[in-house]
């Protein structure tokens, strides 16, 4: 995978390059200290797959730069200290894949880059297959199908929260966003009052939508089980991320704001001790409450959109 890093802070560029090199994620083929120094032709010349770009830069910011990159087929990850949900929403509206907040967290950067790299490889594989079929006269490359318009507010605020929690790079984050959309639409049609849908109902309905209405009960159940595992892994990543922040700085704003809100603090403390002692994460004693997490995530996402 080929990377290009754009950030006005040399230290950040060096840190990202080091992370990419140490984790064997690919090759950094170019750097720039401002968005005004980057264009689609330069990225094409260097055959860039993934662009990492800062939001705030002196001459041309990240959002404006991304808007100017017409013709760039790679993926974009935006990185910034900005935590305004409006600016993050604007960044996502330009077509970026993920938004990572500074200070840079090594585990989060690696996780996000791995997920984006998988998408790049998948997209290339599909394009190669379509080209082969076209050459053989077995069909034309499919036009890109536009996704149906979803509930933009709840999805945008959901992405913001998942980014804050350091779990946006996990595959389960997509399941969680689908759940937020389902809960939000369902509540608009049938106000919950004091009754929140059961975890079983949420997973089942999202699985039916993903598998298709004609899917067999066995296929739906298989998707439910897979989604449950993905979501648990994603939530556990959020617990690990917050515990790591708390271990580094107990007064970290994100740690103070989210740790005890999304998790039982006893479990957060257990995870902090495990990280401190370098315990094997596969045998962690820290427990997560999936329903509580989803409920809090939904209520917080809804609160953000007013």
Q: List Cβ neighbours of 120 (8 Å cut-off, separation of 6 or more).
A: 1, 49, 50, 74, 75
Q: Is 165 exposed, middle or buried (0-12, 13-18, 19+ CB in 10 A)?
A: buried
26 conformational bin, left if phi > 0, alpha if psi -120 to 50, beta if neither:
left
User: What is the CATH number assigned to the segment(s) 2-119?
Assistant: 3.40.50.2300
For residues 22 and 39, is the Cβ–Cβ distance under 8 A? Answer: no
pLDDT in single tens digits along all 306 residues of the chain: 999 999 999 999 999 999 999 999 999 999 999 998 898 888 988 899 999 999 989 889 999 999 999 889 899 999 988 767 777 878 888 888 888 888 888 998 998 899 888 888 877 776 666 666 565 555 444 444 444 334 457 888 888 888 888 888 788 999 999 999 999 988 887 765 557 889 999 999 999 988 887 889 999 999 999 999 999 999 999 999 999 988 888 888 888 889 999 999 899 999 999 988 887 666 788 899 999 999 999 998 888 776
Each domain of the chain, given as residue ranges in start order, spans 2-119, 152-304
- Check residue 210 and give its pLDDT: 87
Q: Does the N-terminal peptide bond of residue 103 adopt cis geometry, omega within 30 degrees of 0?
A: yes
d(CA 296, CA 261): 8
- Check residue 147 and give its pLDDT: 40
- Check residue 282 and give its pLDDT: 67
- Check residue 99 and give its pLDDT: 85
State whether the Cα torsion 56-59-63-69 is positive or negative.
negative
């Amino acid at each position: 995978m080929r990377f290009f890093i754009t950030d006005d802070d040399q230290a950040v560029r060096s840190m990202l390059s080091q992370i990419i090199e140490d984790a064997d994620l690919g090759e950094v083929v170019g750097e720039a200290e401002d968005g005004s120094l980057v264009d689609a032709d330069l990225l094409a010349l260097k055959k860039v797959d993934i662009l990492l770009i800062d939001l705030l830069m002196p001459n041309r910011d990240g959002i404006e730069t991304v808007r100017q990159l017409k013709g760039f087929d790679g993926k974009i990850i935006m990185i910034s200290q900005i935590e305004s949900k409006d600016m993050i929403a604007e960044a996502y509206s330009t077509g970026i894949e993920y938004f990572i907040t500074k200070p840079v967290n090594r585990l989060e950067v690696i996780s996000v880059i791995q997920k984006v790299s998988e998408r790049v490889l998948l997209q290339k594989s599909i394009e190669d297959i379509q080209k082969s079929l076209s050459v053989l006269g077995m069909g034309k490359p499919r036009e890109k199908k536009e996704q149906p318009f979803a509930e933009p507010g709840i999805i945008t605020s959901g992405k913001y929260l998942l980014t804050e929690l350091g779990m946006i790079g996990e595959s389960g984050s997509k399941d969680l966003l689908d759940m937020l959309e389902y809960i939000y639409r369902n509540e608009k049609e049938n106000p919950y009052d004091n009754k929140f849908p059961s975890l079983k109902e949420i997973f089942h309905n999202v699985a039916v939508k993903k598998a298709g209405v004609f899917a067999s009960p066995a296929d739906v159940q298989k998707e439910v089980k897979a989604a449950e595992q993905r979501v648990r892994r994603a939530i556990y990543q959020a617990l690990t991320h917050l515990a790591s922040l708390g271990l580094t700085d107990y007064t970290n704003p994100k740690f103070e704001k989210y740790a005890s809100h999304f998790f039982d603090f006893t479990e957060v403390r257990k995870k902090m001790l495990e990280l401190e002692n370098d315990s094997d994460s596969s045998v962690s004693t820290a427990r997560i409450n999936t329903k509580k997490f989803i409920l809090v995530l939904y209520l917080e996402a809804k609160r953000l959109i007013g």
